[in-house]
Amino acid sequence: MTEQNKKETHDLYAVRLNKLLTMREEGCDPFHENCEQTHTSDEARAVYSEDENNSPIVKVAGRMTVFRLMGKAAFVKILDRDGLIQLYFKRDEVGEDHYKAFKRLDLGDIIGAEGPLFKTKTGEITVRVQSYKLVSKALRPLPEKWHGLTDNEQVYRQRYLDLIVNSESREIFVMRSKVISCIRRFLDDRGFLEVETPILQAETGGAAARPFVTHFNALDCDFYLRIA
């Protein structure tokens, strides 16, 4: 990360921190344990009805990745475990005070929203928000939209950030989890037992790999990280 990027990140952090302090001064808790969610993004789209007068009320939640303000209305996209879904906020629907507070939100914030489904002029199924809740305020800005997370070292050191911004990484993560779960079930059904082996070893292993060494104070001796 360049010095210029570090400065911009620090400045954005200061702005978001100031917003958080303002929320607390106004009696708003910017962090909640959870919020009620009746549908994921895919499930919400699945229950959409062309008869919008009888459209079901859905409760969705996710991280804000797109935020477009247009005066008295706004379009937002949130990301949950199934993908993206669009939300439509209108000042007359949520109330003036709530809309004013909503405009202070930032990309990366996690919100929950409730409302009926409708289809926009572009054909995108969208939640017409009647009420919303800030679940968690994001103090650190997400990577720039178009270039994304390109620093390989940052990808490995900040895996959580990689999973937030890179859909390919999320797909690999989910697939890997399912593959491991499938292997475990296969072996469990055949009577195999899973055995935990030591992560720290008294002797180096891993062929030509450079060993990672640490000192075990209780035993006053060096141990090596398992390479496996």
pLDDT value of position 3: 53
pLDDT value of position 5: 56
Q: How far apart are the first and last CA of the chain?
A: 31
The count of domains in the chain is: 3
pLDDT value of position 6: 56
Task: Give the structural domain span for 221.
Answer: 196-228
- Asked if the structure places residue 205 within a domain, the reply is yes
pLDDT value of position 155: 80
Instruction: Specify whether 204 is located in the same domain as 224.
Output: yes
Instruction: Specify whether 128 is located in the same domain as 219.
Output: no
pLDDT value of position 1: 52
Chunked into runs of 10 residues, the chain (228 residues) has average pLDDT values of 57 89 88 88 92 86 92 93 94 92 92 94 94 92 69 81 86 94 96 89 79 88 85
pLDDT value of position 115: 94
Instruction: Specify whether 225 is located in the same domain as 130.
Output: no
Contact 223, 201 (CB under 8 A): yes
- Asked if the structure places residue 110 within a domain, the reply is yes
Contact 78, 63 (CB under 8 A): yes
- Asked if the structure places residue 144 within a domain, the reply is no
pLDDT value of position 80: 93
